[in-house]
Chains A and B, each alone.
Chain A
Amino acid sequence: MLEITHLIKSFGTQRALDDVSLTLPQGQIVGLFGANGAGKTTLMKSILGFHPYHGQITLDGAPITPKNISRLSFATSEHSFFPNLTAAAHRDFYREHFPRFSDKRFRVLMDFFELPAHKPLRSFSTGQKNQFEVILALCQGADYILMDEPFAGNDIFNREDFYKVLLGILEPHETVLLSTHLIEEVSDFIGRAVLIRHGKIVGDVTAEQLEEEGKSLTAYIKETYHYRNDRVLRVLEDMSEEDRL
């Protein structure tokens, strides 16, 4: 279980994460939603130890250190691979450092996305780079797979394919924490939604709870975020009034 307790992260005087507490048991697909700058990426990077922070993050009761960091993997739209290396070279390299690296999964996903194994990654398109980033994260044998906007730049067909593959290949012990703005697209396959706003967790709901309440994920998010439907209309009215004057 990944447990985050009273996590506080500040950049200068700006508080990016404000007393965040969250528990992620194994075997869930969790959507992490929030506006730009809400703290999604900071939360993920803090979990991975890329940022210093106040509070506590533990994995099965133990702090996250180089000893257990391989139980977490990370796919980011910023990309974390080596652009000059080929996909095959990445496989060889990751195999040495992540003992649970799955060759089979790597092969299957490479075939599925039709990615070239012997071309340097710098020659891949943005969509292909995203796909490869996700492949690497899924093949490391990690129990917790953190994905930060992994499909930025991919077309809808590509993303649909990916969701189907993800559901098909995940093992029962694998947890995915998926940060995305594509709420409608992921609403069908996530089991839980966590909402973050101004660095605070403002909502945490399971798919079953939403079903019981008869709410869609989008409606729940809008409600939790106090989204005002009339906001745009009011601005337009104000502008036209100013024009009249």
Chain B
Amino acid sequence: MKQHLSVLGLFARSSLLRVLAVLLAMGGAEIFFFGRALREALVAYRADIGNGLLTPERLLDYTAVNVWFAAAFLLITLFLCLPGCEFGAHTGYTLRRLSVSENTVFLWQTVYNILIYLLLAAAQTLISYGLCLWYTAAVPAELVSNQTVFLAFYRSELLHALLPLADLALWIRNLLLLFSLGLAAALFPCKQRERRYSGSIIALVPATLLVFERGIGEFGHTAIAACICLMVVCEWVSFALVRGDGEGGEEAEEHA
């Protein structure tokens, strides 16, 4: 088991600090801009100019939380794709000689990627929840009810996508996207080591950004996510088969 954990550790050591830095930057930016927007909205409310911004979901939209989240997602995807790639060294020479197989390395990289994407989603959910709590503490009592945060998570497309509550289709879509992203980000270095090109992650990133934010009841997006997932799995299977053929061929040649 130690060997397996060390492979997980290899990927963590290669990217975890960068990922944490991105999450910190994302959180910092969102808190800063949300605070500024909240102050401006409160000034406007007190001056009786209007209270158009005074719901947490509108403030979050105004803060462009989705843009910060998308930027963090892009950077993290980049950091997950790089470890294991042969840029500057032929890491494949080492990975092929480990006490665990290259398939196991691939599996652990997929698991690690999924955990990191989960961390990103969890961080964004917690930051958003914290911002909502900040809102409830900062605004006048007449603007707040005990349903304010709950409603924000229903009304905001980003928050609802992150925490779909009773929306089962969205939970399924999120799981499919999570699995596809983790797999595609692990396929990229794996294929790069064999001088092959992996298109999945390139297609998956914009597709995820397009379908991730959505309102209630849009089941079509779950179907799109399922198609994406199927595409990534197909690439994985075809790669495994080609590699399997190569290994088989090698053995056959050896015994020839």
- Chain A interface residues (CB < 8 Å from chain B): 48-50, 52-56, 63, 66, 69-70, 72-74, 76, 78-85, 89, 92-93, 96-99, 121-122
Contacts and interface: CB of A to CB of B under 8 A. Distances in A.
A117 to B, nearest CB: 14
A107 to B, nearest CB: 20
B6 A54 contact: no
A82 B3 contact: no
Given A52-B254, A72-B97, A98-B99, 8 more contacts: A54-B253, A66-B101, A69-B97, A74-B97, A82-B91, A83-B88, A84-B13, A84-B15
B253 A81 contact: no
Max chain B CB contacts within 10 Å: which of A56, A74, A97? A97
A50 B86 CA distance: 15
B47 interface: no
Range for the number of chain B residues in contact with chain A: 20 to 34
Given A80-B91, A85-B13, A89-B13, A52 B250 contact: yes
B24 to A, nearest CB: 19
Contacts, number: 84
A51 to B, nearest CB: 8
A97 to B, nearest CB: 5
A99 B99 CA distance: 9
B3 A97 contact: yes
Contacts of A98: 99
Contacts of A55: 254
Nearest to B15: A84
B78 interface: no
B94 A52 contact: no
Contacts of B88: 79, 83, 122
B89 A80 contact: yes
